[in-house]
Structure 1
């Protein structure tokens, strides 16, 4: 990539595009059984993951660590072995969105429940 084109926005867009390719493979394989789902992952997702990893390794030294992209790339580098493991098993989801959505009501409610020491206090807060 030419140096003039290596802006943070273009790099972030490139990573988002690569991640989009990974999710596109998952969309196409959604209705497949787990054993059959592993085939497109091995065939397509593994090569995209290799590009993502190579891009991350090459770009990480050039990005300011305190920038949003720098933080994201450092997080990705630290989590890489876990992030890339889903291709090993067709039963493993590409993301933890189902878990995140399941706990969202509790996370949102946590602030509201913080000062409700009793059930009566929680009911009084809910009535406001």
Structure 2
């Protein structure tokens, strides 16, 4: 992904939430690609399998398991090698999955769970398989979901932030805390240092305080 002031280009991996549509609309942003979270597609079949409402769920889970087994073998490869192996090993499994789902869709009634699970995968086929074309793109966004799980679990307790502005400020602080963790920093040490330096930090150097660029004051260049 390439970043710039207020603009970026690259691939955005999402769970297909409609709120992302405007930032990955190819008519507006031809330099951006959409990738879909495979775990979300698989999860719909997992629900069928657990409910025991359709044998399609069990078979779909087995097929997705083969795809994930391939991905597990590629985790230590370079981006180029990973893409080549995905094309050779994973893409044929996806093609077989698509053929099988299309056949099964003809046999299930509209409006049911099986139809919904199949329609989700087939309807988002292009973004779900986008990761095959780019070794830098993950197969799903489970890693990110694990990172934001504490906020998702606590949001009911945080319904009363005081005001909409207070809620926005809380979201900013949470983003900084989690970004600091992802960059290997102690969040408390990071926030304390940043808050102490902010009053005297030059406006042109504010980006140096972002988690991915931050250095403790004692380590920063004079």
TM-score by length of 1: 0.78
Equivalenced residues, count: 113
Provide structure 1 residue ranges, at least 5 long, that are not aligned to the other structure. Answer: 1-6, 120-128
Q: Distance in 1 between matches of 2:134 and 2:95?
A: 17
Equivalent position of 1:111 in the other structure: 156
C-alpha offsets along residues 86-117 of structure 1, whole Å, 9 cap, x if unaligned?
Answer: 11011111111112112222211111111353
RMSD value, Cα: 2.0
Say yes or no: does 1:27 pair with 2:72.
Answer: yes
| 1:10 maps to 2:49 | no
Give the number of the structure whose alpha-carbon radius of gyration is greater: 2
* Alignment correspondent of 2:141: 96
SS of equivalent to 1:74: helix
Q: Which runs of 4+ in 1 moved over 4 A?
A: none
1:106–1:65 CA distance, 2 compared to 1 (3 A): farther
Q: TM-score, normalised to structure 2's length?
A: 0.47
Write 1 or 2 for the structure with the bigger share of helix. 1
What stretches of structure 2 of length at least 5 have no aligned partner? 1-51, 167-222
